[in-house]
Amino acid sequence: MAATDASANAGPRVVLGVSGGIAAYKACELLRLLTESGHDVTVVPTPAALRFVGEATWAALSGKPVHTEVWDDAHDVPHVRLGQQADLVMVAPATADVLARAAHGMTDDLLASVLLTARCPVVFAPAMHTEMWQHPATQANVATLRERGAIVIEPAAGRLTGADSGPGRLPEPAEIFAVARRVLARGVAGLTDDLRGRRIVVSAGGTREPLDPVRFLGNRSSGRQGYALAATAVARGGEVTVVSANVTLPDPAGAKIVRVGDAEELRAAVLDAAADADVVVMAAAVADFRPAEISTSKLKKSAGPPPPIDLVENPDVLAELGRSRRRGQVLVGFAAETDDVLANARAKLEAKGVDILVVNRVGAGVGFEVQENAATILQPAVDPVDVPLGPKTALADRILDLVVARLAAQTGRSDDR
């Protein structure tokens, strides 16, 4: 990463390149997230980008002058200095044109020059129409940039300009911001494509077991940890399927989403997706019980005490995966505990047949419905790994580090045979 001569109080230096796509307006929110979290951001829009969002907006949001031309402040040589002094260069949105010029080393504007002089991590967040993203020329340019060490985020799928819809949508600013934080924390070496070619299934959220047409038995899971795992796996090159149970978060860009409601639906979707998966991560909170009967009409209050609700056990999806998984598949489970945490977790590790068990002591500020998480990670015949309280993306990276190590070890054993 490039050295910085900023003052001790200054945050990491980020150059935010903005290219000329309709999604340029979303970069305003990304800029706000960066500056409000203490990053020192210099915005470098292309001339085309200024047709969508004006220079005054970028200056007001960044609190700094906006660099638009190679000739601005020529005595400071900005086309060289900005790239040399940055800790991170991020282009959002990155149009097909910018990806092409970056891949071919062209320097016909200030942003292109910054990309060519940068010696820090470079992240591209593409946004364009589906046909442009899927065109062989764009895919070849993306492959070239990735081979050179750049990080190219997979675009999201959804509504594009006009009535069009499909892959090519700019990921949500919060997702891009999470990538920026992860890159600054780990560097390019920590964000390799070590899951390239691997199929990963992640369950996320919490199941809801209906009582009647209005009510259900549920839990507090928001799906944040599962979605953080999915986004991190995509960033590391994985082909990711998310079985999403009642999650209201933006979909992780680049992942396939399968939506489910109750435990039976989740079981069917996970078993189907896991059939040819290399990794299965059961991060969803699956209800242990469901009502024995579901009322077809809303249950009403009565003069006497409410009628009891008879419960039956739901299938144990994690244990079923442990029994039926194919050879070489890595299985990760989660355990939310409140009492005798490690004793209960070790018993679950042995009983479920998992390779990795992530243990949460749930409570105020940890686990459910919060942005951060802390955990202890258990593996058979290995010392526990304690992960301190921090962003859920940090825990996701630590889990996937262990997954990658297990995949490599299994590959080695297969080669020996």
Q: Tell me which residues are annotated as active site.
A: 219
**Residue 361, CA distances (Å) to 50, 280, 371, 375, 389 in order:** 49, 22, 15, 7, 11
Report CA torsion sign: 41, 47, 49, 54.
positive
Cα(411)–Cα(414) distance, rounded to whole angstroms?
5
Dihedral sign, Cα of residue 371, residue 27, residue 126, residue 12: negative
Quote the tokens at residue 382: 């290995």
In sequence order, the 6+-apart residues with CB closer than 8 A to the CB of 71 are: none
Give how far the C-alpha of residue 47 lies from the chain's centroid of Cα atoms, to the nearest Å: 31
User: Cα–Cα distance between 272 and 4 in angstroms, integer?
Assistant: 49
Residue 152, H or E segment: strand 151-152
Kindly state the tokens that stand for 262.
Answer: 């109750």
Q: How many CB atoms lie within 10 A of CB 381?
A: 4
Secondary structure E strands in 19-137 = 40-45, 88-94, 122-126
Distance CA 395, CA 398 (A): 5
Give the chain's length: 417
Element housing 57 (H / E): helix 55-62
Query: Which of 174, 337, 168 is closest to 254 using CA atoms?
Result: 168
